[in-house]
């Protein structure tokens, strides 16, 4: 995981009796690390994709002035980790 200011929580997400890790990242993304069991005496985790947000609200980082491309309608936002996120304008709404 390459973001900073993460908030991990140990939780059995898969309900298989092994503790998984749910991680909230500073810009609002949440991902799950699924415990696949012990490997050479240490737990092995599989990183799942980010959980998909159902809300239409956009959650991104700390760029005070996001930029909107007038030609495509796409929105670009900077994150505190130094990345730029693009939200595509599709069917009258934004998609990450």
pLDDT tens-digit profile of 10-68? 989 889 999 999 887 776 678 889 999 999 999 999 988 777 766 556 666 655 566 78
- CA Rg value for the chain: 17
pLDDT, position 77: 78
Q: From CA 87, how far away is CA 29, in angstroms rounded?
A: 14
Cβ 37 vs Cβ 49: under 8 Å: no
pLDDT, position 40: 95
Cβ 79 vs Cβ 58: under 8 Å: no
């Amino acid at each position: 995981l390459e973001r900073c200011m993460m908030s991990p929580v140990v939780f059995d997400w898969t309900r298989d009796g092994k503790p998984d890790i749910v991680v909230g990242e500073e810009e609002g993304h949440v991902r799950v690390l699924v415990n696949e069991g012990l490997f050479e005496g240490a737990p092995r985790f599989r990183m799942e994709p980010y959980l998909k947000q159902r809300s239409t609200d956009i959650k991104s980082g700390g760029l005070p002035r996001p930029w909107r491309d007038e030609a495509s309608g796409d929105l670009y936002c900077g994150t505190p980790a130094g990345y730029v996120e693009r939200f595509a304008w599709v069917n009258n709404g934004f998609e990450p």
